[in-house]
Structure 1
Amino acid sequence: MTRSDGTAAVAGPDGAAGRPPVIEFRQVARTYPGPPPVEAFRPCDLTIRHGDFVTVVGPSGSGKSTFLNLAGLLDAPTAGAYLLDGIDTGSLKDADRTALRGRRIGFVFQSFHLMPHRSALENVALAMVYRATPRRERTRRAREALRRVGLGHRVDALPSRMSGGERQRVAIARALVGRPSLLLCDEPTGNLDTANAQTVLRLLEELHHEGMTIVLITHDQEVAARGRRTVAIRDGVLREEAMAG
């Protein structure tokens, strides 16, 4: 959908009554200083509600990374307002933004980012260290998260002893262990063969059916088709794509 002024306006399906959207962009934009200034992300409205599964597509240099940084609270917009779970993130101090990101957003990246000399259980549990979660509770929740992604039998395995698909499932468990509002995935199948990619995508679909809100950034149209909605970014302009069929 496009507003009368030419900027994008993208709305998600209705969420639970009375609950604010997980993501709400209000004319959010990002310009990097020059000279000359670079308008990396042009003003847009975007609403993603609880339980949605949105895929974000676009060619290299289109603005997908800028979108990821904005949605993940890794960068701040230079214009507009970003509300995460109804919280105006622009009004927060840096420490509060960091804390909000840790509580509400789980990240899954293409390159796994696992600690090589730590077991699967330790990699997942480490996500809770800075939340002052007691050790016993960290271990219990890490085991629970690994069971959820089908790796309850691999808790003691090192990343070097795991397949790429298993490593990505450990990364998903690490993202889930904090019970976030949003799972933000950046090319999660980019380093996987076809079979492992399908396993990871089926897991994400299962999580979506259980109510998890997922935003998945990809360059692969087949992966994008697995989402409930697809948003395209080109030259910093974000627009929703029509559903096929």
Structure 2
Amino acid sequence: MTPVLDLDRVTRIHPGPPAVTALADATLRVGRGEYVAVVGPSGSGKSTLLNLLGLLDRPTSGVYRLDGIDVAGLGERDRTALRGGRIGFVFQSFHLLPHRTATENVMLAQVYNGAPRGGRRAAALAALERVGVGHRAHALPTTMSGGERQRVAIARALVNEPAILLCDEPTGNLDSATSQRLLSLFDELHAAGLTIVVITHDGAVASRAQRLVRIVDGRITP
């Protein structure tokens, strides 16, 4: 089966002076339906890896295939379209617009992805129901708890039915009880077949994953 994510000897060098090798000769394959945690100390290259996987940055060398597509030769328009259709992002900060309802925040992901206007609201409502906050569909983020806001952010990430969910410290702004409920949601999504990659420094978050990948000084150790 074709991996959803396939990094083959990827290096990312930030130009200097002096030049900094943020990721070195990295090889990583994530199969469809896997749940992978990437762990490492601060400055280890986790953010660089996330930016490359999410098509927010380009490798200096090496090959990256996303869902079987070699992204190296793609222009920015094609990269943006691929990112919007194949990747759902969940960040530590929820990045919700405070004066838009939960439904409207989720619908924005469809606007940027060019989804047909007629089905956007129904798809957004279905995504909110899927993550357990359908009852908050008409609420503003300013009236929600942190856990509810993160679930809305996850609904936004899922509404375009991505091939993979990329999560960057998703529990970083949540208390321990809310974090556990969010991790249980990830367990449910994974059980339903979703491919999940979580970037984290939290051992409790990493322990829920199916596979652990370590990164130290820009080098990946499967």
Q: Where does residue 200 of structure 2 map in the other structure?
A: 218
Amino acid at match of 1:209: A
SS at match of 1:190: coil
RMSD over aligned Cα atoms: 0.8
For structure 2, the residue ranges without an aligned partner over 5 or more in a row are: none
Q: Deviations over 1:157-178 (max 9, x none)?
A: 1001100000000000000000
Question: Is the aligned partner of 1:112 residue 2:94?
Answer: yes
1:36-47 correspondence to structure 2 within 5 Å: 36-47=18-29
SS at match of 2:83: helix
Question: Is the aligned partner of 1:141 residue 2:123?
Answer: yes
TM-score under structure 2 normalisation? 0.98
Amino acid at match of 1:84: L
Residue 143 of structure 2: which of 157, 161, 172 is its match? Answer: 161
Residue 78 of structure 2: which of 96, 104, 107 is its match? Answer: 96
Amino acid at match of 2:55: L
- Number of residues paired by the alignment? 222
1:131-210 correspondence to structure 2 within 5 Å: 131-210=113-192
Q: Deviations over 1:72-131 (max 9, x none)?
A: 000000010000011000011111111101110000000000000000010001111133
**Per chain length, whose mean CA-contact separation is higher, i.e. which structure has more relative contact order (CA < 8 Å, sep 6+)?**
2
SS at match of 2:111: helix
Max radius of gyration: which structure? 1
Residue 59 of structure 2: which of 72, 77, 97 is its match? Answer: 77
TM-score under structure 1 normalisation? 0.89
Give structure 1 regions of 4+ aligned residues with deviation exceeding 6 angstroms.
none
How far apart, in 2, do the equivalents of 1:46 and 1:165 lie?
A: 31
How far apart, in 1, do the equivalents of 2:115 and 2:29 lie?
A: 32
How far apart, in 2, do the equivalents of 1:39 and 1:152 lie?
A: 44
Residue 68 of structure 2: which of 86, 93, 97 is its match? Answer: 86
Q: CA deviation at 1:133?
A: 2.5
Q: Where does residue 220 of structure 2 map in the other structure?
A: 238
Q: Where does residue 65 of structure 1 map in the other structure?
A: 47
Q: CA deviation at 1:222?
A: 1.2
How far apart, in 2, do the equivalents of 1:132 and 1:218 lie?
A: 31
For structure 1, the residue ranges without an aligned partner over 5 or more in a row are: 1-18, 241-245
Amino acid at match of 2:218: G
Amino acid at match of 1:20: T
Q: CA deviation at 1:152?
A: 1.1
Amino acid at match of 2:163: S
Q: Where does residue 8 of structure 2 map in the other structure?
A: 26
